[in-house]
């Protein structure tokens, strides 16, 4: 009997071990030999991790007391509703590939959120105040690696020579803003660890070291959001500490912290004394992204424009001021606000259920803090504050897999911690003989299910990896100045476009490479095929219009550019080129109409000013 009890007690620890290991791996893993070195590799590990963790969820479902806790019931209900309505939105999307696999260089499609939901539920079902220390050890290791790699980048000792990252510190996330936010969330967790007595003194010392390294590495990212999150996390944990010492002082610290948050938000919006310190032009550009997303939602209320299909609709819904200020070529594939993104791409049901899930986690965290005392309060508070920091950055950022995995895992941890016996919700100390026999019978279920799903996931990921690898090789072989490479290039290009599950955008890239390498007929044929598959893709329409013009097929170019007008009504470059096309075929009426249209909203643009005399002739 003792062996059965011991085996049962280790199952939650095994679940947390795999949860921590995959979360750690997703955060640090990247592959410089793929077209997308950051998001795609993290997406692959996410799929593999979720596939393995499914076994633990099945194990939980088979238990006699499954979902006996109120938090479990609400978690599974909200998660299933979210995934159900998200699936409906994905199936109704114009571009279903993007809806399921996510936008290129983003990977925020249905598969990603399904996998994130698995990580969340494993946290809800298995995490408690005892085994979370195992998870915390993975946090310390992750923080140390992220921090040390940040120091290597800021001192010029990166072992990979990134060609275009725009900043010295991009860490393992591929972007300085993402790196800053990730470091701030990890620094919050490490700072809280200094006060967690369940950790050994060596672990607390390591947490402090990791915190210091992250604080040093976060500054060169120049990510204001990262610095704000760091301040929020540290000050909130200190407030919890003050609360434990003196309740009245804790209330005063809370009030001061709330005032500070209000001033910080106002400063980011160019209001108040913190404007010079906190405002960045990127805040203004986010306003365009948010308003475009809101407009999408208003016109597609029920099911949105399709999961992660924001980029396919952005130029149709962007305001005229955006291209006038930032140019026609700059676009966005995300609303840069997770909540608006959910409403815009998934519709009202997805948006509301996602909001309800976040509110549910928020109140579970508050409940846990109220019911906990002493060291448990620091333990719970640390994870809760880190989750709040993630939510704060999600208001002005996107779901980057390397960061978002932490939002869902921390959310699961908060719910799991809020339901433990030491908080008075459930008694886990008694085990009947029947339950012990059930545990013995289910002993092989988890590894069996995990192995089956894991093998399927490996096969699936191999295809995804092949697509990334093939486009990487195609790009490397592309060299119009070396005719001798044409045959080698063409072989790689053929492999790329024929790879199963290849990203749609990579086919467009391959078409442009084919054209420049002299395979003009093949390039145009491929683009025409891609247009029939997704008539909304502006990249296809823009590229094929220019190719038609190069080939002298002006009437075909005109028809393509007229389609662009429907999807991108403020693109003055397109109107001007259309005017030149009409001039070429001698259609002076439409030539003047295009000029008049451009002058009606972009008369001050230098491109328009230069083109005006030519189109007046």
What is the tens place of the pLDDT at every residue in 67-102?
A: 678 889 999 999 999 999 999 999 999 999 999 999
Q: Which of 456, 470, 370 is nearest to 34 (CA)?
A: 470
What is the mean pLDDT of the segment spanning 546-569? 97
Same domain, 485 and 375: no
Which CATH number belongs to the domain containing residue 576 in this structure?
Answer: 1.25.40.10
Pair 306, 350 in one domain? yes
**Nearest CA among 70, 80, 57 for reference residue 126:** 57
Question: What is the rounded distance in angstroms from the CA atom of residue 103 to the CA atom of residue 598?
Answer: 31
- Residues 209 and 159: their CA atoms lie apart, in Å, by 23
Is residue 17 a part of any domain in this protein?
Answer: no
Cβ atoms of 307 and 89 closer than 8 Å? yes
Q: Residue 68: its pLDDT value, please?
A: 73
What phi-psi label fits residue 308: left (phi over 0), alpha (psi between -120 and 50 degrees) or beta? left
Domain-located, residue 610: yes
Q: Within this chain, do residues 496 and 392 fall inside the same structural domain, yes or no?
A: no
User: Of 405, 425, 445, which marks where a domain is finished?
Assistant: 425
Which pair of structure tokens corresponds to residue 55? 């076994």
The answer on 414 and 547 residing in a single domain is no
Q: Which residues contact 164 (CB under 8 A, 6 or more apart)?
A: none
Q: How far apart are CA 493 and CA 397, in angstroms?
A: 35
Residues 326 and 270 in one domain: yes
Contacts of 489 (CB under 8 A, 6+ apart): 474, 477, 478, 479, 513, 517
For residue 44, how many C-alpha atoms fall within 13 Å in the half-sphere facing its CB? 21
Residues contacting 316, CB < 8 A, separation 6+: 566, 567, 568, 569
Same domain, 267 and 148: yes
Average pLDDT, stretch 304-322?
97
Q: What is the pLDDT of residues 111-120, one digit of tens each?
A: 999 999 999 9
Residue 20 falls within a domain, yes or no? no
Q: Say if 58 falls within a structural domain.
A: no
CB contact at 8 A, 350 and 300:
no
Mean pLDDT estimate for the chain:
89
What distance in Å separates the CA atoms of residue 135 and residue 413, rounded to the nearest whole number?
10
In a domain, 445, yes or no: no
Q: Are 98 and 313 in contact (CB under 8 A)?
A: no
259 & 366 share domain: yes
In tens, the pLDDT along 582-605 reads 999 999 999 999 999 999 999 999
Phi and psi angles of residue 429, each rounded to the nearest 5 degrees, phi first: -85, -20
Distance CA 562, CA 577 (A): 11
549, two tokens: 């013009």
Q: What is the DSSP letter of 60?
A: H
pTM of the model: 0.92
- Please give the pLDDT value at position 432: 40
Categorize the per-residue pLDDT at 6 as very low, low, confident or very high, splitting at 50, 70 and 90: very low
Query: Do 406 and 476 belong together in one domain?
Result: no
pLDDT at 427: 39
Neighbours of 288 (CB within 10 A): 20
**Are 498 and 380 found together in one domain?**
no
Q: Count of domains in the chain? A: 2
- CB distance 53 to 122 below 8 Å: yes
Burial class (CB in 10 A: 0-12, 13-18, 19+), 590: middle
The burial of 160, by beta-carbon neighbours within 10 Å (0-12 exposed, 13-18 middle, 19 or more buried), is given as exposed
Burial class (CB in 10 A: 0-12, 13-18, 19+), 242: middle
pLDDT score at 450: 95
Residue 34 inside a domain? The answer is: no
| CA pair distance 143, 261, nearest whole angstrom | 26
Residue 76 in any domain: the answer is yes
**Cβ–Cβ under 8 Å, residues 139 and 409:** no
The 3-state DSSP class for residue 605 equals coil
Does residue 283 register a pLDDT over 70? yes
Q: Are 226 and 177 in contact (CB under 8 A)?
A: yes
**Residue 452 counted as domain residue:** no
166: left (phi over 0), alpha (psi -120 to 50) or beta: left
Contact yes or no for 424/398 (Cβ under 8 A)? no
Separation CA 354–CA 79 (nearest Å): 8
Percent of the chain with pLDDT over 70: 88
pLDDT tens-digit map of 566-587 = 999 999 999 999 999 999 999 9
Q: Do 170 and 303 lie in a common domain? A: yes
Rounded Cα distance, 592 and 586, in Å: 11
Rg (CA), the chain: 27
183 and 314 within one domain: yes
Domain final position from 401, 425, 449: 425
Note whether 319 and 291 are within 8 A (CB).
yes
In this structure, the answer to whether residues 140 and 227 fall within a common structural domain is yes
Hey, is 323 helix, strand or coil? helix
Confidence at residue 435, expressed as pLDDT on a 0 to 100 scale: 45
Q: Do the beta carbons of residue 177 and residue 221 sit within 8 Å?
A: yes
**What does the block give as tokens for 608?**
């328009």
Residue 197 lies in domain: 69-425
Residue 375 CA to residue 388 CA, distance in Å, equals 20
Q: Is the pLDDT of residue 16 over 90?
A: yes
């Amino acid at each position: 009997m003792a062996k059965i009890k011991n085996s049962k007690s280790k199952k939650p620890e095994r679940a947390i071990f795999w949860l921590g290991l995959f979360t750690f791996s997703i955060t640090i893993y990247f592959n410089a030999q793929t077209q997308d070195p950051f998001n795609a590799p993290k997406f692959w590990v996410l799929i593999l991790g979720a596939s393995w963790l499914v076994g633990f969820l099945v194990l939980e479902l088979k238990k006699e007391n499954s979902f006996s806790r109120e938090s479990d019931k609400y978690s599974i209900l909200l998660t299933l509703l979210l995934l159900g309505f998200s699936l409906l939105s994905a199936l109704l999307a114009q571009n279903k590939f993007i809806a399921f696999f996510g936008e290129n260089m983003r990977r925020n499609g249905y598969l990603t959120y399904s996998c994130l939901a698995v990580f969340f539920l494993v946290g809800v079902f298995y995490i408690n105040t005892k085994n979370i220390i195992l998870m915390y050890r993975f946090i310390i290791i992750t923080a140390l690696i992220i921090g040390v790699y940040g120091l290597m980048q800021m001192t010029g000792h990166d072992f990979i020579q990134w060609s275009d990252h725009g900043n010295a510190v991009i860490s393992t996330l591929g972007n300085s803003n993402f790196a800053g936010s990730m470091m701030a969330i990890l620094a919050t967790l490490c700072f809280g660890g200094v006060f967690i007595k369940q950790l050994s003194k060596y672990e607390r010392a390591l947490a402090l070291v990791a915190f210091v390294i992250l604080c040093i590495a976060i500054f060169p990212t120049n990510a204001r959001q990262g610095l704000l999150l760091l301040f929020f996390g540290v000050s909130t944990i200190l407030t919890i500490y003050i609360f434990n010492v003196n309740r009245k002082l804790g209330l005063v610290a809370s009030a001061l912290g709330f005032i500070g948050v209000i001033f910080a938000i106002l400063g980011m919006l160019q209001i108040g004394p913190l404007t010079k310190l906190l405002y960045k032009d990127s805040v203004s550009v986010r306003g365009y992204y948010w308003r475009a997303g809101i407009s999408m939602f208003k016109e597609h209320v029920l099911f949105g424009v399709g999961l992660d299909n924001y980029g396919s609709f952005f130029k149709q819904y962007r305001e005229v001021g955006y291209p006038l200020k930032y140019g026609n070529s700059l676009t966005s594939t995300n609303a840069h606000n997770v909540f608006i993104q959910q409403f815009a791409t998934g519709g009202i049901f997805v948006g509301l259920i996602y909001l309800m899930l976040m509110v549910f986690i928020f109140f579970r965290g508050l409940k846990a803090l109220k019911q906990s005392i002493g060291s448990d309060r620091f333990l719970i508070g640390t994870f809760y504050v880190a989750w709040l920091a993630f939510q704060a950055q999600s208001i002005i950022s996107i779901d980057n897999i390397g960061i978002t995995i932490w939002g869902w895992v921390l959310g699961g941890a908060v719910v799991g911690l809020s339901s433990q016996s030491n908080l008075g919700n459930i008694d886990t100390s008694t085990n009947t003989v029947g339950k012990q026999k059930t545990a013995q019978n289910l002993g092989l279920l988890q590894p069996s299910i995990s192995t089956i799903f894991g093998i399927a996931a490996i096969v699936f990921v191999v295809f995804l990896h092949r697509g990334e690898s093939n486009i990487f090789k195609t790009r490397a072989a592309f060299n119009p100045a070396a005719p001798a490479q044409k045959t080698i290039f063409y072989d790689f290009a053929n492999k790329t476009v024929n790879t199963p599950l290849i990203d749609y955008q990579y086919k467009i890239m391959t078409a442009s490479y084919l054209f420049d390498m002299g395979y003009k007929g093949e390039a145009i044929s491929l683009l025409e095929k891609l247009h029939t598959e997704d008539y909304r893709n502006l990249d296809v329409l823009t590229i094929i219009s220019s190719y038609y013009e190069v080939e002298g097929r002006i009437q075909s170019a005109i028809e393509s550019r007229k389609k662009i007008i429907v999807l991108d009504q403020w693109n003055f470059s397109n109107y001007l080129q259309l005017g030149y096309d009409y001039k070429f075929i001698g259609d002076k009426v439409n030539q003047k109409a295009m000029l008049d249209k451009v002058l009606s909203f972009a008369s001050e643009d230098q491109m328009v000013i230069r083109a005006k005399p030519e189109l007046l002739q």
